[in-house]
Amino acid sequence: MDLLQNNFSTFLQGFGYTLLSSIIALVASMILGTFFAILQILPQKWVQKIGNIYVQVFRNIPLLIITFFFLVVAKLIPMNGFTAGTIALSLYTSAFIAETVRAGILSVNSGQMEGARANGLSFWQAMQHIVLPQAFKIALPSLGNQFINLVKNSSILAFVGGLDLMYQGNMVAANTFDTFGTYIIVALFYLVITLPLSYYMQHLERKLKHAA
C-alpha cells in the first residue's frame, strides 16, 4: 500500500499516457485498417496488391522492430518516444484490423453491394452506408479482441521512453527495488482499462444480436 501511495502520481502519469496512446492508436488503426481492408477487396489487382503488401508487412514484423524503426526515424525528425511508439502501435494494429474488417466485408452478401449500386449509389457510398455497418457488426468480437490487445501492446512505449505505465513502473521498480509489488500495481492499472473495455464489447455484442 505504501508503494502505491508514495508513487501514485508517477503511476497515474503513466496511466494517462497509456490511455492517451491507446485512444489515438485505436482511432488511427481503425481508420487505416478499414481503408486497407477495402483496398484488398477492390477489383483492381494492383490496388489489392498494395493492400496485401501493407497488411503482410506489418502483420509479420514484430511490434518491437517497428517501434525501434520509428525510434531511429525520431532521430531524423522532431518526434518523441511517445509519438514514435504510438505510430508504431497504430500501424501494427491496423494490419490485424484490416484482416478482421476484410473478413467481415466478405461475409456480407454480395447482393447488398449490387443492390446499392443498382439504386444509384457509388461504390464508396454503398460501402459506407450498406456494407461496412454490417461488416463491423459481424467482426465486432474480433475487433474487441484487437482493441484489448492494443492496450496491452501499448507497453511497447516503455522501450522508447514513451512515459507510459510500463515505463513509469520500470522507474519505480528501479528506485524502490520492489519489483514484484510494482508490477502488480502496473497490472492492476492495465485492468482498469481492459476489463471495462472487455465488458463493454460483450454488452455491445449482445445488444446488436438482440437488435438483429
Is the separation of the CB atoms in 151 and 74 below 8 Å?
no
Q: How far apart are CA 157 and CA 138, in angstroms?
A: 31
Residue-range definition of the domain harbouring residue 55: 2-211
pLDDT of residue 142: 87
Q: What per-residue confidence (pLDDT) applies to 186?
A: 93
pTM for the full model? 0.90
pLDDT at residue 126, as a whole number: 85
* pLDDT score, position 159: 85
Mean pLDDT, consecutive 10-residue segments, the chain of 212 residues?
Answer: 84 93 95 94 89 93 89 74 91 95 89 81 84 87 90 90 89 89 92 90 78 60
| CA distance linking residue 49 with residue 53, whole number of Å | 6
Q: How far is CA 44 from CA 36, 40, 125, 145, in A?
A: 13, 9, 18, 31
Number of domains in the chain: 1
Please report, for the domain that includes residue 53, its CATH number: 1.10.3720.10
CA 193 vs. chain centroid, Å, equals 14
pLDDT of residue 109: 84
